[in-house]
Structure 1
């Protein structure tokens, strides 16, 4: 096949649809990545405007620029937009755009899941912006501490907007984390072992895994607080056995890893761009990878250092203080690796390197003040002052925005096929750098002088006048610099000089693609033998364009890419990814209708939306799969591989694994909350405990045991080619699960106390609902597999769907049993027949 014909056929298969239909249905990773980055940039602009309003208010004492009520909405929305709508979505978009190109793949593992996440992000952000336009924006801070955010003190809809809008957006983040994790682990070029992955992929992988584990506590906290506000279940009400500190624990279980979730992708940009700018490979690749893993692990054990002033026991203060200081060690390992790379190379102060130099200066200050805040006496002294605000911005702006601007300038030829004007870019850098440091370096002093944060006004004569004025002037200088950067990027997109294929002479695979990149990325996929496989003569790029690599032929109009063994990088399957579809936007719209029904108080509409999601999920899954065994098929270069439907390590199976990890983290956080309230809540144990029915408990155990045994027999029958017996076994499994669910419902309805009288009743009802919901999910999975078996989509070779259903069944049964045990086994519970 000629190269021209190959490219034409690939373009026909992977082509993006044009017009409004394409906007609504395209699932191409490049389109979605750019959408995320552009939308995040818009939210950054809105958040920046809100920051200017804050600084205008604080520029002078007793300012009447805005009143306290509006000011509370402004600073709450500023923090929420920057944390949830800008930082995380921006690096998600960068990862979605760059990872397939860096890894030598044609797409992400689950393109439609990425598209669904995009629409959830867009719709969730619209809820927040619409509320702000209507004067109903959240006003309790981006952290929404209770009891301030409880119904008593925030009776309006403002807090509900935050709780439901941010949770809606968090769905997008969880989808992206699963997508990115499976893509990095499975969709790499042949031969790209873990040790040969680009360093940026390591950073993004660890970040995605942190998101898988780190976001569920916040989703749980938002869910519990919304239930308390809507239905009066007292999770955070100390008068009824709840405790406001439960919110802080759950929030900072998310909030502290969030800092590193934001920092690690930025550090990944530094580790990628810096070696190119100094013309020397990254020194200490293995040490850097190890430090990333250590940093990701330890970040989850430091949440209490945000709560040093809440009355934590002194021993815990000492332990968390020491851990907070020690976490600087893996960060310093990366810093030394960067310094050693610069020492060994020849730094060229081009624009990306200029932003990297600015990052070093800013992040050093942010890191040092972070270690200072880890020391309990100083933490007590500056808690809730402007000092903490300054530290936060040095870490998040100095540690995230500066590296991301370096990355944008570095990858700009890849993104828009053009280059920016270096002088305009340098002007933007110096304005941003000078304005940023004038704003926040002075703010450290303001905090040390005692100025609280989150205040709308202050009196004169306290020594805060001139520091606040300087910070306000600096903020407007920084805003001008950001505006110049936006103008620079806009002019580059419209009139910039066209770029060659590899203007930086880098060695990573994203520069092997033509500029601009085709929808399929690579005409054929490479065999990777090193961390920087791209040679300066572009011989590899030319051979891949000629179809001389893997998958250099089209087959039946399918979108194909390679799936590899996680560790070795050897090809394990040919992954067939789905094409453009209306399902992502429709599913996101129905999901949005569920959240809107809760926000507006139309609670009877919420179950209808959930039923719609079940129907859409069924239809979504039913459009995948194959009805014939293909066996090993030609891969190219004389090799063969099976399609992913016939592989034991298919991306879909791994996607379910990481989805269940997220789910299990949510459940573990719920059990943690149960234990926390039982330990410190008032009136525990309550006067009215659960009175579990022994008969119902026995029926639950009998039903789920029968379901597990029947499912095991069904899968064995499928493997041995006995479909009729398998269908009968699946029918028995669903019957057993139905019996278990009915018994669990009876157990709860007859044996649990009111969820409104005490936090104990509220928690045990949530546990029961959690177990029942996951039992229902497992039931739907079993029904789906039985249907697919009857339709011919399942065979001894095609076991992906039964194996996925087995995962969800076992987890659903586990959730039911653990929920039952947590309800029935506390001290004082009285059993009845």
Structure 2
């Protein structure tokens, strides 16, 4: 196994100085607000999503404490409903997808040999909107106006006559606001992966993590409009008296569920897919070989992305829809387990045929496989209509989706965090502390959620804030609550490990693991320009490939050094043939200004200050016009 030589071997000191001048950002307050560097934005996504995860986790601890004993009075029904809704909403919309997009922001340009995302200013806008939308929703909690109807917000309980106040207005407007960020980020990932790959990185050499991110982005583009339409109709019903979900006026309450789950089930894979990509990215470094079955994994990623849009009704098996329709969705829900199983067997084969190096990232990958397979097994059970109708709205469902989302998303996230922490921070983590964190998280997760299968089967319904003591659920609930504190302790140790690495970790080499993708050919952390020489890729494992190493050596040509400005390379979509060099935009305050104008718009709509909302629309339009005004170098511009 060879390693790519430092790219600077083919670049003069004058070229390096020019690259640093064009791509570097002097530390200042203005730079902090105006940065468009994908690495800084990726780190911000990770930190911000982590903070929202902490808030959602504390909400979960309060709920578990309330449920530890029968008829406890720690939380009132009103408080429980708001914490319950904000926990689910934040975990799904403000943590899982943004955290994985944070990994994508930092890693995708590095993995494909680019110097930035295709649309750097749009990338910055996506982050600011994500931050403001999260604050918009969480700020409602101290005022007792937080969303309170569950993260799925079923009508008619979300209608004004059943749920007065601002609660569900915050939900509808907050998710509409956030949807702008998610859509912008998805477009950016797709264009970046198609047009900014290093020369030679044809589609059969694209890293599996990048495949997963692009598939996720396409799913977002097709799934999110249904959720946006749902939330827009809910807001119009509540605020302006329309009747989309009012049966007495010709509306339909099931319309909400159809639109929500047309988004909601692909969203499970929108969350899990990048995490599966992390598994495929991390595994080669700790098995000392490439992942088995690369073409099959790519096909499974594409198959999951398509089939996931045809299974939404399995969330509605108890709603009284025609029985015949259930059979089609039951079949699709069973079929989608096949491509997922292909990936599991590919990873197991990789571990069997490779030479395992047991470090903390690999431990989290093994924990992921165990937990995700168990969650997938109960998911296949839900594909059976008769079983689903028996356990619907019970804690069995809660157990299942936590096994899938914690096992399928959080465990890979933690594996990725430990794996790429040296690259992101330039510091190594403490191995023993990481191992303690793994075992506490793994044990705490199973102690918390496995008993839920049992007391779900024993009849405990979801979404209850208390229960009687003579139902036989109290012991199981106490065990789950104890497990939740164990899980929280493990996650706290993860945070302690990150802080320890930042403050006391030893400096990280460029490639501490022997990884195979291009980010490991850069310094730790990478320079602002990522690559002094845009590499020419000759292999699926470019860092293990000698010809790719030679492409960054003394023979590197000017069309791949590009030191005369902020420029990167455009290549063809399929086989990554060199097309031209394109100029990238400078740092700008426009993304922050536009996001602030949108924040004012949504806040004004929430509070009913419609003249202010009109002024905010004007500010949004003016900012977009300035943004879109052609620059002097319009023929080379990247927005």
Q: When the two structures are superposed, what TM-score results if normalisation uses the length of structure 2? A: 0.96
Give 2:566's match in structure 1, choosing from 549, 559, 573: 559
Summarize the Cα distance change of 1:429–1:127 in structure 2 as closer, same or farther, 3 Å threshold. Answer: same
Can you list the C-alpha shifts for 1:702-722, whole angstroms capped at 9, x where unaligned?
xxxxxxxxxxxxxxxxxxxxx
Corresponding residue number in structure 1 for 2:579: 572
Q: Distance in 2 between matches of 1:302 and 1:177?
A: 22
Within the alignment, does 1:583 sit opposite 2:586 as a pair? no
Corresponding residue number in structure 2 for 1:212: 221
Corresponding residue number in structure 1 for 2:430: 421
Can you list the C-alpha shifts for 1:787-822, whole angstroms capped at 9, x where unaligned?
xxxxxxxxxxxxxxxxxxxxxxxxxxxxxxxxxxxx
Corresponding residue number in structure 2 for 1:196: 205
Corresponding residue number in structure 2 for 1:91: 100
Corresponding residue number in structure 1 for 2:144: 135
Q: Distance in 2 between matches of 1:625 and 1:216?
A: 35
Compute the displacement of 1:611 (Å): 2.3
Within the alignment, does 1:123 sit opposite 2:132 as a pair? yes
Give 1:328's match in structure 2, choosing from 333, 337, 357: 337
Structure 1 residue matching 2:569: 3-state secondary structure: strand
Q: Distance in 1 between matches of 2:336 and 2:558?
A: 43
Write the mapping of 1:347-746 to structure 2, written as runs, cut at 5 A.
Answer: 347-535=356-544, 540=549, 543=552, 548=557, 550-555=559-564, 558-624=565-631, 626=633, 644=636
Within the alignment, does 1:149 sit opposite 2:158 as a pair? yes
Summarize the Cα distance change of 1:477–1:620 in structure 2 as closer, same or farther, 3 Å threshold. Answer: same
Corresponding residue number in structure 2 for 1:110: 119
Question: 1:505, 1:536 within 8 Å by CA — same for their partners in 2?
Answer: no
Question: 1:522, 1:545 within 8 Å by CA — same for their partners in 2?
Answer: no
Corresponding residue number in structure 2 for 1:278: 287
Compute the displacement of 1:301 (Å): 0.6
Corresponding residue number in structure 2 for 1:720: none
Corresponding residue number in structure 2 for 1:826: none
Can you list the C-alpha shifts for 1:514-554, whole angstroms capped at 9, x where unaligned?
12211110111011111111248898289359965743142
Q: Distance in 2 between matches of 1:519 and 1:157?
A: 44
Can you list the C-alpha shifts for 1:648-706, whole angstroms capped at 9, x where unaligned?
xxx77xxxxxxxxxxxxxxxxxxxxxxxxxxxxxxxxxxxxxxxxxxxxxxxxxxxxxx
Q: Distance in 2 between matches of 1:511 and 1:454?
A: 46
What stretches of structure 1 of length at least 5 have no aligned partner? Answer: 628-642, 646-650, 653-833
Within the alignment, does 1:159 sit opposite 2:137 as a pair? no
Structure 1 residue matching 2:153: 3-state secondary structure: coil
Question: 1:513, 1:541 within 8 Å by CA — same for their partners in 2?
Answer: no
Question: 2:559, 2:581 within 8 Å by CA — same for their partners in 1?
Answer: no
Q: Distance in 2 between matches of 1:579 and 1:303?
A: 43
Question: 2:284, 2:291 within 8 Å by CA — same for their partners in 1?
Answer: yes
Summarize the Cα distance change of 1:319–1:352 in structure 2 as closer, same or farther, 3 Å threshold. Answer: same
Summarize the Cα distance change of 1:568–1:185 in structure 2 as closer, same or farther, 3 Å threshold. Answer: same
Compute the displacement of 1:129 (Å): 1.6
Q: Distance in 2 between matches of 1:319 and 1:549?
A: 57
Question: 2:279, 2:365 within 8 Å by CA — same for their partners in 1?
Answer: yes
Compute the displacement of 1:312 (Å): 1.1
Q: Distance in 1 between matches of 2:475 and 2:438?
A: 26
Q: Across the two proteins, how many residue pairs are aligned to each other?
A: 630
Structure 1 residue matching 2:583: 3-state secondary structure: strand
Question: 2:538, 2:547 within 8 Å by CA — same for their partners in 1?
Answer: no
Q: Distance in 2 between matches of 1:192 and 1:438?
A: 45
Question: 1:512, 1:538 within 8 Å by CA — same for their partners in 2?
Answer: no
Question: 2:59, 2:83 within 8 Å by CA — same for their partners in 1?
Answer: yes
Structure 2 residue matching 1:497: 3-state secondary structure: coil
Compute the displacement of 1:281 (Å): 1.0
Q: Distance in 2 between matches of 1:362 and 1:499?
A: 31
Can you list the C-alpha shifts for 1:70-105, whole angstroms capped at 9, x where unaligned?
000010010011001000100111100000100000
Can you list the C-alpha shifts for 1:326-357, whole angstroms capped at 9, x where unaligned?
11000011111111111211122211110011
Summarize the Cα distance change of 1:78–1:545 in structure 2 as closer, same or farther, 3 Å threshold. Answer: farther
Give 2:314's match in structure 1, choosing from 305, 314, 317: 305
Q: Distance in 2 between matches of 1:125 and 1:541?
A: 46
Corresponding residue number in structure 2 for 1:71: 80
Q: Distance in 2 between matches of 1:335 and 1:483?
A: 29
Compute the displacement of 1:607 (Å): 2.8
Can you list the C-alpha shifts for 1:229-252, whole angstroms capped at 9, x where unaligned?
111011111110101111111111
Structure 1 residue matching 2:465: 3-state secondary structure: coil
The two structures, once aligned, show a CA RMSD in angstroms of: 1.7
Summarize the Cα distance change of 1:49–1:28 in structure 2 as closer, same or farther, 3 Å threshold. Answer: same
In our comparison, the structure showing a higher alpha carbon Rg is: 1
Moved over 3 A (4+): 535-539, 541-550
Summarize the Cα distance change of 1:539–1:144 in structure 2 as closer, same or farther, 3 Å threshold. Answer: closer
Summarize the Cα distance change of 1:550–1:509 in structure 2 as closer, same or farther, 3 Å threshold. Answer: farther
Summarize the Cα distance change of 1:50–1:235 in structure 2 as closer, same or farther, 3 Å threshold. Answer: same
Question: 1:443, 1:467 within 8 Å by CA — same for their partners in 2?
Answer: yes
Corresponding residue number in structure 1 for 2:271: 262
Can you list the C-alpha shifts for 1:293-320, whole angstroms capped at 9, x where unaligned?
0000000011111011101111111111
Within the alignment, does 1:318 sit opposite 2:323 as a pair? no
Which structure carries more relative contact order (alpha carbon 8 Å, separation 6+)?
2
